[in-house]
Structure 1
Amino acid sequence: MVLLLVVDHDLDPGLAALRPLGGFFVLRTLPAAPAAPAGPPPALKDVYDNPAPDGHPDPLDFRIRKVTRSLRTAEARVGASVAHQALAARLWSAALGCAALYGRIPDLDPRLLRWDADAGAPDDLWLSEVRPLPADPATVADAVLTGHLRPLTALVRTRYRVAEGLLWGNAGSALAGAARELDRWARANGRTDVAAGARSLAAALLRHPLLTDTGTLTGTAFRRRNCCLYYRVPGGGVCGDCCFVRPPRSSARDTSG
């Protein structure tokens, strides 16, 4: 059973209800868009469809190189996996936060959602227009999985030789992590309705065909069936939801799902 919250207010133009959640949940809207001398950041639709436009830097490659350097690793595919999961986490967090607090989500159409590849962490996203949509699992899946993670995953898999199963594992892990953080905030603030709604929606989304084999959800704990490769970062170790109990040997074959 999916518990959908019924909230008595609509999305506000600034998505102000997300601000107390902080970090990965906040989603900028047009009035708060950063002023960039070179113009606004690209829409994600352009990143997915035309990642290296003539005369312009490739935003996705720029971001992955930036992440790879920050991790102090020489392996581009490790940086690509981490960058992929970070962007997935931002998308899921904004969608789940709005669903739980408003009972609706904004239209996350890649033509409306802009991404600053040169920002710090978490990824800086902002919407050029706020259009309310229902917050049922099918609509949320269409907005995040179909609209963003399917083209992003295809691009990262093709260009950086990261296994497709690993990338969908990133998507499942990012979803479970967003739900877990939202549940933690809701319980700390006495919003048991929000906590229940977030858990229910996340569980329904993890039953989507693209995510159903990515891991096992028990309450708010998630155990993925593959590894994001973070253990290959110097001093990285394994993540809390990793399929590995301890970092495998560097020469071991990577688990890709």
Structure 2
Amino acid sequence: MDLDADLAALRPLGGFFVLRTRADPAGPAPGDLATLAETYAAAPEAGRDALAVRVATVAGRLGAAEPRVAASIGQQGLAARLWSVALACAALYGRLPGLDPRLLRWDPTATAPDDLWLTGVRPLPGDAATLADTVLYGHLEPLGAALRARYGVAAGLLRGNAGSALAGAARELDRWARASGRTDVAERARALTDDLFAHPLLRGTGIRTATAFRRRSCCLYYRVPGGGVCGDCCFTRPPRSSPRAVSG
């Protein structure tokens, strides 16, 4: 299937999988928003610090007192959006839209799932290597570098978030594909996910059993008031000590 300008095949999946390619008349104009390339920049332009806005937005909504906790949770949300779009396109179309950070605009004040606009659909191969180049190297590594420098979030934690986000996207795509009778999509998604978790940046992030995933790090959600632990957390109950030693 050829990529279409609206990426319409993603719409039935909803939520984290849908990617806007046109402006929403009821929302902000994409041109008024920072690109993800600007978001990851070491020295953001004055008045367009989307990363700081996102961290503050997440912190405010969750009541998180520690900026690094909000930074971690915000990063995992964006990682989930990127993996969901990329993996679903590769499994449904057999192709990937070029998700260059310069072409993706982001509303950092939006509720989850993070609101993204792609300003131009440019087809790329839908193989695992292109997925890794696009999501890991194109987005999550520069985003991680910015979060480490500005908020002190550990590299191992951020890679654990990336693995958790990929596993979650794969699990939801598999569920939809099987419920829709698209076993071909489920098989392609599983093969791509297997190859991605063999990548050096993801290989050690957790243990997979079918579509289940148990990560080796903690995203720090338990430090949010009333947060507890996530379903794939390395902890079975919220720890009492500082998580820095176990999340890096």
TM-score bracket, normalised by the shorter chain, equals: over 0.9
Is residue 2:115 matched to residue 1:124? yes
Match of 1:49 in 2: 41
Q: 1:168 to 1:238 in 2, by over 3 A?
A: same
Amino acid corresponding to residue 113 of structure 1 in structure 2: L
State percent identity of aligned pairs: 66
Equivalent of 2:216 in 210, 222, 225? 225
Question: For residues 91-121 of structure 1, what are the alpha-carbon distances to aligned partners after superposition, in whole Å with 9 as ceiling and x for unaligned?
Answer: 0000011011111110001111111111111
Q: Secondary structure at the match of 2:33?
A: coil
Instruction: State the shift of 1:89 in Å.
Output: 0.3
Match of 1:167 in 2: 158
Equivalent of 1:21 in 13, 18, 22? 13
Equivalent residues in 2 for 1:31-180, closer than 5 Å:
32=24, 35-36=27-28, 39-49=31-41, 52-54=44-46, 56-180=47-171
Moved more, 196-205 or 176-185: 196-205
- What is the CA–CA distance in structure 2 between the aligned matches of 1:232 and 1:250, rounded to whole Å? 11
Structure 1 segments of 4 or more deviating over 6 A? Answer: none
Amino acid corresponding to residue 28 of structure 1 in structure 2: R
Amino acid corresponding to residue 226 of structure 2 in structure 1: G
Instruction: State the shift of 1:126 in Å.
Output: 1.1
Q: Secondary structure at the match of 1:125?
A: strand
Q: Secondary structure at the match of 1:174?
A: helix
Is residue 2:173 matched to residue 1:192? no
- What is the CA–CA distance in structure 2 between the aligned matches of 1:45 and 1:12, rounded to whole Å? 24
Is residue 2:20 matched to residue 1:11? no
Contact 2:30 2:117 in 1 (8 A): no
- What is the CA–CA distance in structure 2 between the aligned matches of 1:252 and 1:136, rounded to whole Å? 36
Equivalent of 1:242 in 224, 233, 238? 233
Contact 2:220 2:243 in 1 (8 A): no
Question: For residues 186-239 of structure 1, what are the alpha-carbon distances to aligned partners after superposition, in whole Å with 9 as ceiling and x for unaligned?
Answer: 111111111111111111111111111111111101111010001111111111
Amino acid corresponding to residue 52 of structure 1 in structure 2: P
- What is the CA–CA distance in structure 1 between the aligned matches of 2:166 and 2:30, rounded to whole Å? 33
Unpaired stretches in structure 1, ≥5 consecutive residues: 1-8
Between the two proteins, the alignment pairs up a number of residues equal to 248
RMSD: 1.7
TM value normalised by structure 1 = 0.92
Q: 1:232 to 1:16 in 2, by over 3 A?
A: same
Contact 1:30 1:129 in 2 (8 A): no
Contact 1:33 1:126 in 2 (8 A): no
Instruction: State the shift of 1:251 in Å.
Output: 4.6
Q: 1:92 to 1:51 in 2, by over 3 A?
A: farther
